[in-house]
Amino acid sequence: MTTQSTTSPASGSVLKRGFTDPVFEAQASFRAALLSTAYPGRIVNLNQTLVPPQPLCSATAALCLTLLDFETPTWLDRQAASPEAVGWLGFHCGLPIIEETRTAQFAVITDATNLPRLFEFDSGNIEYPDRSTTLIVQVPSLENGPVTSWTGPGIKTRAAVGVAGLPSWFWSDWDLNKELYPRGIDVVFTSGSALIGLPRTIEVEA
């Protein structure tokens, strides 16, 4: 988490800086991630000045800087694996990027329409259900998509959520993921500087 731009020796290109105030901004981003998990379906805004590399939006980039490091094997979709983004993530996070979805602790998806099926990621095991993959899924909008109804822990009654840009099969796969509890993946949707958490405990009616 450097506070200034630098030049990549390998490519000669200038890397965009990370957080301006690494400690404060990482703490704020972590609190936002926790809040989105505690209150699923609620849009949580990140007050960040981060200017990320393409194709990462600021919320996706902030979560990467906050949650990912050299001990978190991460899978990137084809779009997220741009040279600029890979160089930035490698420099600021020391991120080990892997090619196998099933062994990833995190997955960063910036092209939601081509998201792999949810069962292709690690759903954990009975002894260690927390070792499943967490997906960071960047979408065009958190409000303007088809309205779905969410219920479960952290939601008082029901939450109407309109995440846009998801593949047609997503909510069917989510139903299957929900049945695996306490195993199962967790998802954080990002768009612009905002995010919404979708823990495995949440039931969704599409």
> Using CA atoms, how far apart are residues 171 and 183, in angstroms rounded to an integer?
17
Q: Is 48 a residue whose pLDDT tops 90?
A: no
pLDDT tens digits along 178-200: 999 999 999 999 999 999 999 99
**How much is the average pLDDT of 73-99?**
96
Q: What is the pLDDT of residue 13?
A: 63
**How much is the average pLDDT of 112-123?**
97
The amino acid occupying position 112 is A
Q: What is the pLDDT of residue 149?
A: 98
Question: Where residue 159 falls among pLDDT bands split at 50, 70, 90?
Answer: very high
Distant-in-sequence, close-in-space partners of 171: CB < 8 Å, separation ≥ 6 = 148, 204, 206
Provide the whole-model pTM.
0.92
Which CATH architecture is the domain 15-205 placed in? 3-Layer(aba) Sandwich (3.40)
How much is the mean pLDDT over the chain? 93
Q: Is 24 a residue whose pLDDT tops 50?
A: yes
Domain ranges for the chain, please list them.
Answer: 15-205
Question: Where residue 5 falls among pLDDT bands split at 50, 70, 90?
Answer: very low
Residue 162 corresponds to which tokens in the numbers above?
Answer: 């309109």
Picking from 129, 132, 143, 121, the residue whose alpha carbon sits closest to that of residue 189 is: 143
